[in-house]
């Protein structure tokens, strides 16, 4: 392996050299209803990646080839991604849950030359993508693919350094992948990831959470499973539909955690809420778990409180970041419950904690206009709410073929031309101890004639009320003259079914609003059976969709 190679695929070769027989992936299957696992070692995984890379190269994929990935999360995805990295190819990852119209727009924007996908994707691509032409299409999961991997799994162990030189040499600034955002508050954008950024992410996560080789991970946000071979962790593939995490069966997830001895798990608040309810109902705990990470949406302190007794030997962390900049900050569940929850309950926002080492964050004045350069004049003092802006080795520099979006989100640093600051599109502030607080998305703030209201600050007041599962602050009318309203999603079975029940529920919510300064401007209440949420985490509320729906009430 060449000195100075920043290609993240090299981590798999190192893991296979250090612990070739250690399990890298555990694949679930059931026999007469009993959950069992087939284990694939790091040596076997390396062998699978080697033969997959050779197969892809024979089909015309090589260094720099852009490859649209349409592979379901699991073993095939891990093998395919590392094979592409090994070749120096560039995976293009787009969430099909955003809808085929948006998906096609992302394909045209990123211009992939090849398609690697499950049989349905390769067969139906002419119809789904309306004639978009690929130079080559490779089917993953077909009989020939299974035969290919079976040969690798049954062959000689991959040990030593014999295959290291086959990992394409990549500079830290070389393009590694294009990962599209979920498009929760605007059009999905292709984020250009460089190899050095992936390497920084691995380093930051490993050091912050003290991840050790040999740990076992059940990743409920599939993209994070791709870090595991680089971290030396075994990946347990969950029994769930990754496109619908909130619809997962918590019984199967808990069973997998207990039987596989899972020590680490990463999932959205919506999914951990399902797991907490199930464990409470069934009297189960998760004694093997050392740490869980909740991310993808603000984490209610009440969920942390519910999860804590289920983890007798574990800690809860809530990392903060975005596709364009991950990780940025983190806070432990202990700190939330002991220190920051009372402030969240008062409408001060959600504390996302201390900024990661090597990362920097600043709060800049609130504007929707592009900003060319970072400057001290833009920055706000502690306690003042503005836009969170970050810089560091894992912060991406641009969007694919979207100079307008890049200009709107990126700032240069006149003090250091190598630095790029990313505007998170999130509102927040620093407290007197230097901790970062999140107040809501900039695009979702409610702009009234008397001033702005922030979603996370207001919703925390309503979310504490009995019978309220979650709430969404929305603005009705034109920005600057909006009428603030709160939409309530009641707890299951608590939706008001009669006019009198609705009136009583509404009266209770308005009484709560009137008692808090941050919510006192709210005079309208609506109810929704189930909120529209993002497809990736099933946790981010589509407040702008709700605002459009209820604006008809004005």
Can you list the domains of the chain with their CATH numbers? 10-213 (3.40.50.980), 346-441 (2.30.38.10), 446-553 (3.30.300.30)
- Tell me: the pLDDT tens digits for 342-393? 999 999 999 999 999 999 999 999 999 999 999 999 999 999 999 999 999 9
Residue 93 has pLDDT above 50, yes or no: yes
Cβ–Cβ < 8 Å for 195, 174:
yes
Place of tokens 């985490």: 537
The residue-averaged pLDDT of 476-484 equals: 96
Cβ–Cβ < 8 Å for 361, 436:
yes
Residue 92 has pLDDT above 60, yes or no: yes
**Global pTM value:** 0.94
Residue 45 has pLDDT above 50, yes or no: yes
For 183-187, the CB contacts below 8 A with 24+ separation are: 183/98, 183/102, 184/534, 184/540, 184/542, 185/425, 185/441, 185/443, 185/444, 185/544, 186/443, 187/102, 187/105
Q: How many helices (H) and strands (E) does the chain have?
A: 17, 26
What percent of the chain stands above pLDDT 90? 85
Q: Which of 447, 519, 503, 451 is nearest to 478 (CA)?
A: 447
Which two structure tokens, joined as six digits, stand for 366? 């609130």
DSSP 356: P
| Whole-number Cα distances in Å, 271 to 311, 321, 543 | 16, 18, 20
Cβ–Cβ < 8 Å for 442, 411:
no
The residue-averaged pLDDT of 446-454 equals: 97
- DSSP alpha helices (H): ranges in 391-447? 403-409
Mean pLDDT of the chain: 93
The residue-averaged pLDDT of 267-291 equals: 95
Rg (CA), the chain: 24
- Tell me: the pLDDT tens digits for 163-187? 444 899 999 999 999 999 987 777 8
Concatenating the DSSP letter of every residue in 247-299 gives GS-HHHHHHHHHHHT--EEEE-HHHHHHHHHHHHHHT---TT--EEEE-SSPP
Helix (H, G, I), strand (E, B) or coil at 361: strand
First-to-last CA distance in the chain? 65
- Tell me: the pLDDT tens digits for 235-265? 999 999 877 777 889 999 999 999 999 999 9
- Tell me: the pLDDT tens digits for 305-346? 999 999 999 999 999 999 999 999 999 999 999 999 999 999
């Amino acid at each position: 392996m060449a000195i100075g190679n920043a290609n993240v695929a090299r981590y798999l070769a190192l893991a296979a050299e250090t612990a070739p027989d250690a399990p890298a992936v555990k694949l679930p299957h059931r026999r007469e209803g009993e959950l069992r696992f087939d284990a694939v070692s790091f040596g076997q995984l390396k062998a699978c990646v080697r033969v997959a890379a050779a197969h892809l190269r024979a089909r015309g994929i090589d260094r720099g080839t852009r490859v649209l990935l349409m592979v379901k999360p699991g073993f095939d995805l891990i093998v395919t991604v590392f094979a592409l990295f090994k070749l120096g190819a560039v995976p293009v990852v787009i969430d099909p849950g955003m809808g085929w119209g948006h998906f096609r727009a992302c394909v045209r924007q990123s211009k992939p030359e090849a398609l690697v996908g499950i049989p349905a994707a390769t067969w139906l691509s002419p119809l789904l993508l309306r004639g978009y032409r690929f130079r080559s299409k490779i089917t993953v999961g077909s009989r020939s693919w299974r035969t290919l991997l079976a040969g690798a799994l049954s062959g000689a162990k991959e040990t030593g350094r014999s295959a290291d030189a086959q990992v394409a040499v990549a500079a830290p600034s070389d393009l590694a992948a294009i990962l599209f955002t979920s498009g929760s508050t605007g059009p999905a954008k292709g984020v250009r990831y460089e190899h050095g950024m992936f390497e920084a992410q691995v380093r930051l996560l490993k050091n912050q959470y003290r991840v050790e080789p040999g740990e076992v991970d059940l990743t409920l946000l599939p993209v994070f499973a791709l870090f595991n071979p680089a971290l030396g962790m075994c990946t347990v593939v969950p029994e769930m539909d990754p496109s619908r995490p909130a619809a997962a069966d918590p019984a199967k997830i808990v069973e997998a955690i207990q039987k596989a001895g899972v020590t680490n798990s990463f999932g959205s608040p919506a999914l951990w809420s399902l797991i907490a309810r199930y464990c409470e109902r069934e009297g189960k705990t998760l004694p093997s778990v050392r740490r869980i990470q909740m991310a993808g949406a603000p984490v209610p302190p009440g969920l942390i409180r519910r999860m804590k007794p289920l983890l007798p030997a574990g800690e809860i962390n809530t990392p903060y970041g975005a596709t364009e900049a991950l990780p940025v900050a983190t806070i432990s569940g202990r700190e939330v419950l002991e220190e920051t929850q009372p402030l969240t309950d008062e409408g001060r926002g959600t504390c996302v904690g201390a900024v990661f080492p090597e990362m920097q964050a600043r709060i800049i004045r609130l504007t929707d206009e592009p900003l060319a350069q970072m400057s001290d004049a833009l920055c706000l003092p502690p306690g003042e709410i503005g836009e969170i802006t970050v810089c560091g080795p894992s912060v991406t520099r641009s969007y694919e073929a979207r100079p307008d979006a890049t200009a709107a989100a990126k700032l240069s640093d006149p003090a250091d031309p190598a630095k790029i600051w990313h505007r998170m599109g999130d509102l927040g502030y620093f407290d007197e101890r230097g901790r970062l607080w999140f107040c809501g998305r900039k695009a979702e703030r409610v702009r009234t004639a008397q001033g702005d209201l922030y979603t996370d600050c207001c919703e925390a007041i309503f979310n504490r009320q009995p019978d309220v599962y979650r709430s969404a602050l929305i603005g009705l009318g034109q920005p600057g003259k909006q009428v603030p309203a709160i939409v309530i999603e009641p707890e299951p079975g608590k939706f008001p079914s009669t006019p009198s029940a609705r009136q009583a529920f509404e009266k209770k919510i308005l009484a709560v609003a009137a008692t808090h300064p941050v919510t006192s401007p709210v005079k309208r209440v609506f109810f929704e059976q189930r909120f529209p949420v993002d497809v990736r985490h099933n946790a981010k509320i589509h407040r702008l969709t709700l605002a459009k729906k209820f604006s008809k009430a004005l």
